[in-house]
Each structure stands twice: as C-alpha cells, then as structure tokens.
C-alpha cells in the first residue's frame, strides 16, 4: 500500500521504527519484539539504514522477514551520502523488486567508519536531490525527514522549512519528524509548514522515554528538554525503575495532547524493544 493511501482515515495511523541488529540472533529477537507490537495494528514498520550503506545487507534481511514472517509492511530508510547514482538505483530496484511501494529518502551524515564512506562518489548534497532522482527513476512513494527543533546544520527554522519545502516540491508526500518532547514545538512547525504551502501529513516522531541515558541521546539528536520534563523526571535520576515509570507517563501525556489535536499518525521510535512502546500505547488506550 502506498503511503498516501494510509493517511486518509480518521484514526491516527500507528507506525514503528526499528534498526537492523548486527547479528542473526539479534534479528530473531527483533522479530519477537515486533510480534508483540502487532497487536497495535501498525500500518508499517520503518527500517533504518546506516549512512554509506553500512547496514544495507542487514536492512534488507530485516525488511524481508517483516514481510514474510509478520505480514507487515516495511518501509526502508535510504541515505544517499557517499553513493553514486548506480548504487542508489541498484538498491532501490531491489526494494521495488520485493514489491515495496514506499521509501524514506534521506541525505544522511558521513559515517564514522571510512570503509563505508566514499565522499568522491557523492552525487547528491541534499535529500531534495535524492527525492527528485527517485521520483524520476522509480514508482516509489517518498517520505522525508523533518526537524521541528531545526536540523543541527540549518541556520534557522525558516531556512530549514524552506529546504523541507524543496523536498516536497521534488515529490515527497509525507514528513516524518525527529523526536521531540514539547508538543508546542511540533504544532508551531506544522503551522509554519502549512503557511509555506506544505500540505502533506507531518507525522510526529515519538520516543518512549525510559532512562536518563535516552535524555542524553535525545539532546544529541537536537531535541530540547522542556522545563516541564526536567521537573517531571528530576526526582528519579538515580532510580532507574521509577525513572522508567515517570518517563512513560510523561510520553503518555504528550501523546494524549497530540491525539487531542488530531495528528494524522504517530511514529514510535522503538529501539527494537516492544515493552516501552506498548506501555505508551496502552496508556493512551490505543
Ligand atoms: P536534508 O533534508 O538534505 O537536510 C540536511 C541539512 O541541509 C538541513 O540542515 C537542511 O536545512 C540543509 N539543506 C537542505 N537543502 C539545502 C540547500 N539546497 N542548501 C543549503 N542547505 C540545505 N540517518 C541515517 O543515517 N539512517 C537513517 O535510517 C535515518 N533515519 C532517519 C529518520 C528520521 C525520521 C529522521 C528525522 C532522521 C533520520 N536520519 C537517519 C538522520 C538524517 O540522516 C540526518 O539528520 C541528516 O543529517 C539529514 O538528513 P536529511 O535527509 O534530513 O537531509
């Protein structure tokens, strides 16, 4: 099913993001976690892609197993950094050969492992160029990334939104956002995007928060920690179980706020674990 056909109803569309584990055992375990999440009737499972192709083989194994063993729709992420047109085409042709209809098109960042990064092969400098290339050469429907708290390399939200608009004009039909903890930031982003004429669904990215370590990682991704969240979790910094409980409760309240505003969907960052995601979705009665 194409992405544009998924977001047409009144019910918020649930989707999950996973990453390809490094080992076969890890992939088996992931399938087990996704089986538990099937109860929430996800519209699709997006599978991340290591920039430069570091995870290409394992991403494909995960994609196939999601289809064959779980009967769910996978959406591959794809990053073009360090790839020439030939290698991009060869990957997307494999994707289309599997019968997949959608892709999340990204620029990516240079990988730390230089074996996988060939800057001399870079043909595209921004995701908008990849979107145009995919539009011209495939039948895939294309989602792109959005950053309610501004991409770290952008000078301002307005500049970032101008470039987001370039991705939509090049042919993308869905925006999936970076995680955030303050709904006001997301609402402002959607409103500003609309003013620019961006009318595609903007799907909020949700992180089920369970540890202080995740807070640190989220900050590295560019997420700001609102004062309300700091106050909420501060008493539990040294009590992992209580932190987990409080973190999930915060995200339940956050998601309730998003649902009240009638967001088109929820894209949950699972980190390959079903439990925290299930706690959030049960907490909002989904
Ligand atoms: P772009 O849209 O190209 O934007 C990158 C920067 O360039 C922005 O600051 C933008 O404002 C600026 N820019 C764009 N066009 C222009 C222009 N014409 N002139 C000047 N500046 C411009 N990474 C992975 O490696 N693998 C994944 O699977 C993955 N999945 C992700 C999923 C989601 C939902 C999100 C939000 C991010 C994901 N990322 C992933 C991270 C992403 O690859 C990085 O954030 C990367 O730095 C930017 O990719 P992009 O596609 O957003 O780039």
Following DSSP, what letter does each residue of the chain receive, concatenated? --HHHHTTSSSPEEEEEE---SSHHHHHHHHHHHHHHGGG--SEEEE---GGGTTHHHHHHHHHHHHHHH---EEEEEE-TT--HHHHHHHHHHHHHTT--EEEEE-----S-GGG--GGG---SSHHHHHHHHHHH---EEEEEE-TT--TT-S-HHHHHHHHHHHHHTT--EEEEEE-S-HHHHHHHHHHHHHTT--S-EEEEE-----HHHHHHHHHTT----HHHHHHHGGGTT-HHHHHHHHHHHHHHHHHHHHHTT-SEEEEE-TT-HHHHHHHHHHTT-
- Nearest C-alpha to atom 28 of ligand 1 is from which residue? 48
Q: What is the pLDDT of residue 116?
A: 66
Q: How far is the CA of 2 from the centre of ligand 1 (A)?
A: 22
Which atom of ligand 1 lies closest to the CA of 49?
A: 28
Q: How far is the CA of 79 from the centre of ligand 1 (A)?
A: 9
| pTM score | 0.96
Percent of the chain scoring above 90 in pLDDT: 87
Q: How far is the CA of 106 from the centre of ligand 1 (A)?
A: 6
pLDDT value at 191 more than 90 = yes
Which atom of ligand 1 lies closest to the CA of 164?
A: 2
Q: What is the pLDDT of residue 82?
A: 87
Q: What is the pLDDT of residue 286?
A: 83
Mean pLDDT of 63-86: 95
Counting Cα atoms < 13 Å in the Cβ hemisphere of 229 gives: 23
Pocket-testing residue among 76, 105, 108, ligand 1, by greatest number of atoms within 8 A of Cβ: 108
Q: How far is the CA of 145 from the centre of ligand 1 (A)?
A: 6
Mean pLDDT of 49-65: 89
pLDDT in tens, 252-269: 999 999 999 999 999 999
- Nearest C-alpha to atom 39 of ligand 1 is from which residue? 108
17 is catalytic: yes
Single out the catalytic residue among 5, 17, 120, 129.
17
Mean pLDDT of 136-140: 97
Pocket-testing residue among 56, 80, 107, 167, ligand 1, by greatest number of atoms within 8 A of Cβ: 107
- Nearest C-alpha to atom 12 of ligand 1 is from which residue? 154
Q: How far apart are CA 207 and CA 255, in angstroms?
A: 10
Mean pLDDT of 174-202: 98
Mean pLDDT of 135-151: 97
Which residues surround ligand 1 with Cβ inside 6 Å? Answer: 48-49, 51, 77, 79, 106-109, 126-128, 145, 151, 153-154, 159-160, 163, 166-167, 176, 178, 205
Q: What is the pLDDT of residue 119?
A: 74
pLDDT value at 17 more than 70 = yes
Pocket-testing residue among 104, 151, 156, 167, ligand 1, by greatest number of atoms within 8 A of Cβ: 151
Which atom of ligand 1 lies closest to the CA of 167?
A: 2
- Nearest C-alpha to atom 20 of ligand 1 is from which residue? 163
pLDDT value at 244 more than 90 = yes
Q: What is the pLDDT of residue 114?
A: 67
pLDDT value at 4 more than 90 = no
- Nearest C-alpha to atom 53 of ligand 1 is from which residue? 107
Q: What is the pLDDT of residue 176?
A: 98
pLDDT value at 112 more than 90 = no
């Amino acid at each position: 099913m194409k992405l544009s056909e998924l977001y047409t109803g009144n019910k918020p569309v649930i989707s999950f993001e996973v990453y390809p584990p490094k080992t076969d055992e890890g992939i088996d375990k992931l399938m087990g976690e996704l089986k538990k999440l099937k109860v929430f009737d996800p519209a699709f499972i997006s599978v991340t892609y290591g920039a430069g192709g570091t995870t290409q083989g394992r991403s494909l194994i995960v994609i196939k197993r999601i289809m064959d063993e779980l009967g769910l729709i996978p959406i591959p992420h794809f990053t073009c950094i360090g790839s020439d047109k030939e290698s991009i085409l060869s990957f997307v042709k494999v994707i289309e050969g599997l019968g997949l209809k959608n892709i999340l098109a990204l620029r990516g960042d240079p990988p730390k492992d230089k074996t996988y990064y060939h800057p001399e092969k870079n043909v595209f400098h921004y995701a908008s160029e990849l979107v145009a290339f995919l539009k011209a050469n495939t039948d895939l429907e294309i989602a792109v990334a959005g950053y309610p708290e501004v991409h770290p390399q952008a000078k301002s939200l307005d500049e970032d939104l101008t470039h987001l608009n370039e991705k939509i004009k090049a042919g993308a039909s869905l925006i999936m956002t970076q995680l955030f903890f303050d709904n006001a930031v997301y609402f402002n982003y959607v409103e500003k995007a609309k003013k620019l004429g961006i009318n595609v669904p903007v799907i909020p990215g949700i992180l089920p928060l369970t540890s202080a370590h995740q807070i640190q990682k989220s900050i590295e991704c560019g997420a700001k920690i609102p004062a309300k969240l700091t106050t909420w979790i501060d008493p539990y910094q040294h009590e992992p179980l209580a932190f987990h409980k409080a973190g999930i409760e915060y995200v339940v309240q956050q998601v309730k706020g998003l649902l009240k505003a009638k967001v088109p969907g929820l894209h949950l960052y699972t980190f390959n674990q079903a439990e925290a995601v299930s706690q959030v979705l049960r907490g909002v009665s989904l």
